[in-house]
A and B are shown apart, each in its own frame.
Chain A
Amino acid sequence: KAGVTQTPRYLIKTRGQQVTLSCSPISGHRSVSWYQQTPGQGLQFLFEYFSETQRNKGNFPGRFSGRQFSNSRSEMNVSTLELGDSALYLCASSTGTSQETQYFGPGTRLLVL
């Protein structure tokens, strides 16, 4: 079974721009979660989507948004980029049942200049 895939793997943007990251979950998985990883703040939960609905949300500003499509693929969007948004963005998928294991993709490394 193919794992979680994320595209693109690397991105360079400038302040004020917006960016869209994509995540394809493991086949059959209906839940997709997004995490931000930075050296200072570590791994932080952004949001989770299940069956095209946002089910859970972390403490991030409204500039961070996401969506999920009917095939369970998910996109994350960050608008008006700030230098502090530079991070590794990780996507994880699971079946969506309570406390089920989440499987992570390789991440998208975003650099904001």
Chain B
Amino acid sequence: GDSVTQMEGPVTLSEEAFLTINCTYTATGYPSLFWYVQYPGEGLQLLLKATKADDKGSNKGFEATYRKETTSFHLEKGSVQVSDSAVYFCALSERGAQKLVFGQGTRLTINP
């Protein structure tokens, strides 16, 4: 079945550092791809999404590009802030189904 593999965490960075969280997927069709973020004690918030190859999703300084040739959707941000500390989940949505398949999550901690 479809699956998502994320970079192992935890990841600790200093404020203003560059962030990359790797995400690769396996899917039989052409899924949509998502990044969700979870702050402590809360549910998941959509960070960005891309629905087809070469699409770039962006929000709050975060970006990710849907790469079909490498089956990847890596999350990047040029300058992280302490407030970006959270758990980040990469996910795919199978075509024709309202079912999200998640990666294992990456805990990000930003130190001032």
Contacts and interface: CB of A to CB of B under 8 A. Distances in A.
Contact of B34 (A6, A50, A56, A101): A101
Given A101-B46, A106-B42, A94 B98 contact: yes
B61 interface: no
B81 interface: no
Given A42-B104, A42-B105, A90 B96 contact: no
Contacts of A90: 43-44
Contacts, number: 65
A33 interface: yes
* Interface size, B (range): 20 to 34
B89 to A, nearest CB: 7
Given A104-B43, A104-B44, A105-B43, A55 B98 contact: yes
Given A33-B99, A45-B100, 5 more contacts: A33-B98, A35-B100, A48-B98, A102-B46, A107-B43
Shortest 7 CB-CB contacts between residues of A and residues of B: A99-B32, A43-B102, A104-B43, A104-B44, A106-B43, A99-B93, A48-B98
